[in-house]
Amino acid sequence: MCRHLAWLGEPRTVSSLVLEPELGLLRQSYQPRRQSHGLMNADGWGVGLLAPDRAEPVRWRSSRPLWSDASFASVAPVLSSGCVVAAVRSATPGMPTDESASAPFTDGRWLLSHNGRVDRAVLPSYAEAESVCDSAVLAAHVFAQGPDHLAKIVTEVARLDPVARLSLLLSDGERILATTWGDPLSYLVEPDGVVVASEPYDDDPRWVDVPDRHLLEATPDRVAVTALEER
């Protein structure tokens, strides 16, 4: 289980997205409001973003609780991007807790976070997976099959593991893709972009909840939500 967030639009600082919101990921690391599995997200955190003149995303990940990292808090206000994916982690029992197991994961283009759990036995083995944890192996599977096939991937993995929770969040700087399968997701369209998150980071009434078992596809000025089981 984890909490995650993606921003796509005009550049915003990482601090404004992750640390400053009253009910944002920092608060969600120790007091989430909509989390139904686990009480805290203290097993690590990660932030990925696209930087000008750099083809691949840059990431900062840690195995420590987000609230304990003063170094990140001092740098986050000067890091800005038009594409940010961030997550705080509650490790699946039995999974490693080193920083390589913290989202977002990447294939050099996409940033991906997984909120949930999956039996690794139903997934192929990937040497390029960043960790042996379930989320990293699932990320490698998505990258290998192609994010454009996300709806098919999620429904097939769910068929193989009926108790899997498969809420995924991805961005490549051009669009956000996300699924709900066992865990919640909400989005907020702003004048300068769109934010998609496990739970709203404030009480703005414009937040829209995504129904379970749906696929979200978003650009900075458009959001489409369709039922996964109808695709």
Which structural domain, as residue segments, surrounds residue 158? 2-230
Domain count, the chain: 1
* pLDDT band at 34; cut points 50, 70, 90: confident
CATH number of the CATH domain containing 206: 3.60.20.10
Which positions are annotated as active-site residues?
2
pLDDT tens-digit series, residues 36-45: 666 666 678 9
Residues 122-133 pLDDT 10s: 999 999 999 999
Pull the structure tokens for residue 156: 């097939």
How confident is the model over 138-181, as pLDDT tens digits? Answer: 999 999 999 999 999 999 999 999 999 999 999 999 999 999 99
DSSP assignment string, 121-190: GGS---TT-S-SSHHHHHHHHHHHH-GGGHHHHHHHHHHHSTT-EEEEEEE-SS-EEEEESSS--EEEEE
CA–CA distance, 91 with 46 (Å, rounded to integer): 13
The whole-number pLDDT of residue 42 equals 64
Instruction: Give me the pLDDT at residue 152, please.
Output: 97
Using alpha carbons, select from 161, 173, 139 the residue that is nearest to residue 56. 173
Structure tokens at 91: 């490790």
- % of the chain residues with pLDDT over 70: 95
Confidence of residue 231 (pLDDT cuts 50, 70, 90): very low
